[in-house]
Structure 1
Amino acid sequence: MSIRNPRLPMLPGYGSNPMIGRKHFGLRPIFTSLNKVNMLVDKGEDYDRAPSVYGRKQAPELPAWIVYDKSILHFQAFFQESLHEMRVGTRNIRKVSIYFYLEDGTIKVMEPRTDNSGTWQGLLIRRQRIRLPHSYDLYYDVLDLNIGLEVNFFGKVFKVVNCDNFTRVFLNRLGINVPDPIPWPDAIERTPENKKEPKQYAFKQFLDFDRQVLRFFGYWDDRESEYGLIHHLEIHYFLSDDTIEIKEIFPHNSGSENGPMFMKRMRLPRKLPPCVEMSGGPRVPSYEPSDLSIGAVLDVFGRPVVLTDCDPYTKEYYRVTYGFDAFQPLETPKDDTIECISTRVSDRKLPPWNGYGSYEDSAENCRTVEPRAPHRDFIKFLHKDRVGFDSHILRFAGRLINDNPVDARRYFIVKYFLCDDTIAVFELGERNSGFNGGQFFKRDKMYLPDVEFYVPEEPPSYTDRDMWVGNELVINKHRFRLIAADEYALRYLELHCEKYPMANIALIMDKIRRTLASQENGYKNFVAKYMDAVEPHKKELMSVRCFRQALREIMCDKMTEHEFITIIRHFRGDPGKERSPRYEMIRSLVFSDITRGLWDARERLREGLLHADEASAGVLTAHRMRQLLRAHRLPVNDDLLDCMLSVLDKDEQCNIRCDSLMQFLDFKTRPVFATDADYLKVVRHAPPVKDTECKIWGETELLIKEGFVNWNAFLCQLNLDHLVKDQP
């Protein structure tokens, strides 16, 4: 640094720049450590840190941003806001929430939002460290916030009145006494001359009761006047400003036009004075909530309106506010004129169906002159329409029953659509059989046999309760017997067993239990006779053929074929042989996506399963299994992933076995890749019309007829051991 010669003038060229060569300008930034966190301070070596809350040897070893991560102290406070343009009061009380973040000592102030408050609410002070008033190096800390204290944030004084349980426990552990909560003050501080409540449109009443409406139902009997009738009314009482509006409800096809309001929203006076001055003067007393009740009569400008009933919200309001418990509705007088009109409309009968088109279409054309499309059950369509792989279509295999021996060998697929209760029939054509196969009956609503069709009312049709294995359906004078069902249909009926008794295992077991209990020594002879039929190497298993014969001997004709299938599926004793064609189909689709996505992380998936299975039980929930597969980037869409999880082996709590998943994804036993046509079979549930699909249905029937049943589990669920003990 050069020094200027004082003898030389201060002109350009007579001196040098003193800043040339310098590298540091101003004060050097100083860093210090607070709770092992480096922080920048704006002072030099004379920086004086604020004392810590903990002792020297009690401070946490980890940094504060790790120890106190997501640890927040919550205080409730209020501040006063001056009211300069209101005659009812001088100050307004605004409630806020103060959040103190322990990780870095920052503070945030929020005000809860209130509808129609008229003020800007929400975030008042963003998250930051706030200095103490009249200080430049000290900030608000935990010791400065407690119930009963006042804090000054940027010129606003906040009074702390309450805190949450976490804050109270945290301060108590620090040795800080937390007082009891302080009650909230009034919303508006009244001036001495305005101590009384305002007479009209109270601001507090508007905030407390906005959008709260009491609804009553009533009538006005005007039959004494000429052409008079009973007016059905709906009375709305607005608690926010004590106003009333009345709407008139016109019956259907009453001949009256829906006009304006019976009475517009206004304060309804209890008694109209002889002379009412519209400007100035004292206010006329109006109706209040205490004046309204079931059976009360309102004087609506000379028209007596009787209240007959109210809605559930109004009943709860009077039950809480006034302690009323009796809400017996009153009967409305019947108007003979309206009753005759409605009776004539409701009793109108349609002409008999002529057979052209569908019944719904013909009935809709008879109800109105303008042709309209028939109305369908839209709610049922939304719930039972196709959702991904869940098609809501029940497929059954059927045989044609008649005297022709050729037709006995024909194979049919009967599809029932749950979305609109329609049935379609397809034929599986075999080679050199003389039948081409394909669509046999198009999709339509199938009516029950031996019913009269040409009647005004629609005849009964087949429903989903008629679709079960062993039942006979007469469709267009062709008798079909349902001999089998696919996995989706059987599973759907079992999941909704409360609607389908043929798939309800509880009802089936109760039927068997009552039959054995009614026979003398029935259960004892039943167990002793078939005890030797159990497999010698596995004493708890019995063949399906022997089990079916045992049930037929005790039940005779009391059990249907579908009930046999349900009980065999429930007590299946060899889950390894239960691999259905659908299992292999889904597995081939999964391997197609895996090969297309070049996924080869099977060993990492095995490690992830072992890490997730903390109890070493070998099972995981479906939700956890789906998370792991997504974490390991298995290239499979959501619908196919749900189908894959549905076919894996599960335990009694419906948890998926990890070894079943690894066996499913085993590259050594990978299946043949599925074609696009096979993919459409699973995704779209296309009608089975190919010869190759006959093998699928045949294998499905063999899965039910072959295999083993857990005999011990069946006897345990029967729970009839007490009959053996009681009998000699």
Structure 2
Amino acid sequence: MPEYADEIGRYTLLKKIKLPKGSVSPHLPGQTDEHTVLNLAADFSSMLTDPLNCGRSQITYYTDKDLRLGESINVGGRKVVLYDCDEFTRTYYKLKYDIDYHPFPRPKTDYELSEDSLISINNKLRQLPPYNGFGTFEDSAVNCNILDPLLNPPVQSMRQFLQESGQGLDCRILRFNARRISDQDDSKEFEFEYVISCYMADNTISVYKSSGQNSGCGSGMIIGKRKLLKPNQSMRTINTYPEYYTYEDLYVGAQVEMDRFKFKIIGCDEYTLKFMENFPHRFPKANIGLILDKLRLRLQDNYKMFVSQYMKQARLDPVPYAEFSSAIHKVLGEDIKEQEVLHLGRRFQKVDPQFEINQEELRSLVQTNLRRKLFFEFSKLEENYHKYDVDKSGMVKKKEFMYVLKGARLPLSRDLVCALEQSFAPHEESIVNYTEFIKFLNYKKYPAPECPPMNTMMYMQGNTRRSDLTRSKLSNIQVDVAEFIKALGMEEQFIRENS
């Protein structure tokens, strides 16, 4: 009954009434009345009440004497088991009936009992014969359990297929860079890079070999798109459903064995990193909160030593990613994976503009885009800013400035909106003159020279976007240690313990 439940899922099954014992059938009109009226004549003046109440049915109701923990009662034809009560009820029964009530374990519902029976029946089924090599293992298993497998094909998760299928530019394919590993690394095959693609819709995996420059070796697919078995399993001998690789087994730093090929994952693309960061509940190695909790637990004893290695002239300067990664690995050792350190570096990356934005070029670019999209509601935009300008000073805070800017839905790309924010409100404490900002946008009253066609994403990428933490750029990344220490939140605890 979710539509009748409150905020925490509780609902009223039966309102406050007398609860009859046993099964109750619908009563005839007047059957439950307290008095029975006898009509002795045709007129209404000759009516008497029946003192014996011969036609009245006797209904017994539940009282406090009938309620016992561990026993069941009939509530409108439903069997309800009492297994616990509150403290007031325990005190009531102790004082009135001298009965000590102790909670019972919650009994299983009929649905849970039916599920358990189905599981026990499935466990008692005969073991499957070894896989014969025809079709997939699931097809062969259906052929063994069902007389006509064509009428009952293997059931696939349609919910997973519909939720994880690609939609537009969102392909839902996670791609990882990998290298082959071996005990005897004497072959040139181990110098090439491989791309492991994981398809979220059906948990299938493919491996593509990319050839190096002037290597003389061709590139191509070495493992086609299919479900891949985990190691130490043989399709010829197993008689239970096998275990396959899924997206949970693939991350930077993991070693996997696929069709007797051993790989070590050394990187992933930007889409995979962003996808993991957008769904941290599904990817624990991208969950910044869990990673910081792991660090706090280890840094309880040596927090001062950890912070002191970054102190330079009584301040915390940004450090290269390689130095930050080695410090994290020194603290946690094998308990942290390279994927987790990678997401920490992305989260606390020091962002510096590569060059100053030319105001005239930006103004020309913004006005050209507004003119092409036929945007002319500048007066309405100014009215929205007036709502936040209580003093009528023409100035608003950055938070209010961005509220109106994003709420106006200007026909500008995300890069241009970020460039406007960086130009007019670069800091959190910035105060913006919205009158000058509207003049900056208004191409009718204050036109700027028209800008030639250009790729705005490529033009603004150097100013507004965070650089990607790919392997080729790791050496240029600077990690903001001050923000990282602030996110740990152990400074106050350290001062309190040592004061």
Contact persistence 1:308–1:330 (CA under 8 A): no
**Poorly superposed stretches of 4+, deviation over 4 Å:** 284-291, 293-298, 328-332, 342-346, 604-615, 618-627, 641-653, 666-669, 724-728
Counterpart position of 1:29: none
Q: Distance in 2 between matches of 1:525 and 1:489?
A: 35
Cα shift at 1:561: 0.8
Q: Distance in 2 between matches of 1:576 and 1:289?
A: 82
> Is 1:531 aligned to residue 311 of structure 2?
yes
> Is 1:374 aligned to residue 154 of structure 2?
yes
RMSD: 5.3
Instruction: Evaluate the alpha carbon distance shift between residue 411 and residue 610 of structure 1 in structure 2; reply closer, same or farther with a 3 A threshold.
Output: farther
Write out per-residue CA displacement over residues 353-395 of structure 1, whole angstroms, 9 at most, x where no aligned residue: 2233211111122222223332101122222222333322211
Q: Distance in 1 between matches of 2:420 and 2:470?
A: 18
Q: Counterpart amino acid of 1:714? A: F
Contact persistence 2:469–2:477 (CA under 8 A): no
Counterpart position of 1:565: 342
Kindly report which structure 2 residues correspond to 1:327-476, keeping only aligned pairs within 5 A, or say none: 343=121, 346-372=124-150, 373-402=153-182, 403-453=185-235, 454-476=237-259
What SS does the corresponding residue of 1:435 show, helix, strand or coil? Answer: coil
Cα shift at 1:287: 12
Cα shift at 1:476: 0.5
Kindly report which structure 2 residues correspond to 1:253-268, keeping only aligned pairs within 5 A, or say none: none
Q: Percent identity?
A: 23
What SS does the corresponding residue of 1:398 show, helix, strand or coil? Answer: strand
Q: Distance in 2 between matches of 1:610 and 1:526?
A: 50
Q: Counterpart amino acid of 2:197? A: K
Instruction: Evaluate the alpha carbon distance shift between residue 711 and residue 296 of structure 1 in structure 2; reply closer, same or farther with a 3 A threshold.
Output: closer
The structure with the greater share of residues assigned to helix is 2
What SS does the corresponding residue of 2:133 show, helix, strand or coil? Answer: coil
Write out per-residue CA displacement over residues 441-460 of structure 1, whole angstroms, 9 at most, x where no aligned residue: 11111111112433221121
Structure 1: tracts of 5 or more residues without a match: 1-217, 219-234, 244-283, 299-305, 312-325, 333-338, 578-590, 635-640, 675-696
What SS does the corresponding residue of 1:419 show, helix, strand or coil? Answer: coil
> Is 1:555 aligned to residue 343 of structure 2?
no
Kindly report which structure 2 residues correspond to 1:33-182, keeping only aligned pairs within 5 A, or say none: none
Write out per-residue CA displacement over residues 311-370 of structure 1, whole angstroms, 9 at most, x where no aligned residue: 9xxxxxxxxxxxxxx9x98999xxxxxx99x94995233222223321111112222222
Contact persistence 2:139–2:154 (CA under 8 A): yes
Q: Distance in 1 between matches of 2:327 and 2:420?
A: 31
Contact persistence 1:544–1:568 (CA under 8 A): yes
Instruction: Evaluate the alpha carbon distance shift between residue 612 and residue 491 of structure 1 in structure 2; reply closer, same or farther with a 3 A threshold.
Output: farther
Instruction: Evaluate the alpha carbon distance shift between residue 717 and residue 618 of structure 1 in structure 2; reply closer, same or farther with a 3 A threshold.
Output: closer
Relative contact order, higher structure (CA 8 A, sep 6+): 2
Larger of the two Rg values belongs to structure: 1
Write out per-residue CA displacement over residues 286-318 of structure 1, whole angstroms, 9 at most, x where no aligned residue: 999989x996899xxxxxxx956379xxxxxxx
The structure with the greater share of residues assigned to strand is 1
Counterpart position of 1:11: none
Structure 2: tracts of 5 or more residues without a match: 1-21, 29-54, 82-103, 111-116, 355-364, 389-395, 442-449, 459-466
Kindly report which structure 2 residues correspond to 1:202-213, keeping only aligned pairs within 5 A, or say none: none
Q: Counterpart amino acid of 1:527? A: V
What SS does the corresponding residue of 2:300 show, helix, strand or coil? Answer: helix
Counterpart position of 2:270: 487
> Is 1:710 aligned to residue 480 of structure 2?
yes
Q: Distance in 2 between matches of 1:348 and 1:648?
A: 69
Q: Distance in 2 between matches of 1:380 and 1:718?
A: 36
Q: Distance in 2 between matches of 1:576 and 1:287?
A: 87
TM-score by length of 1: 0.41
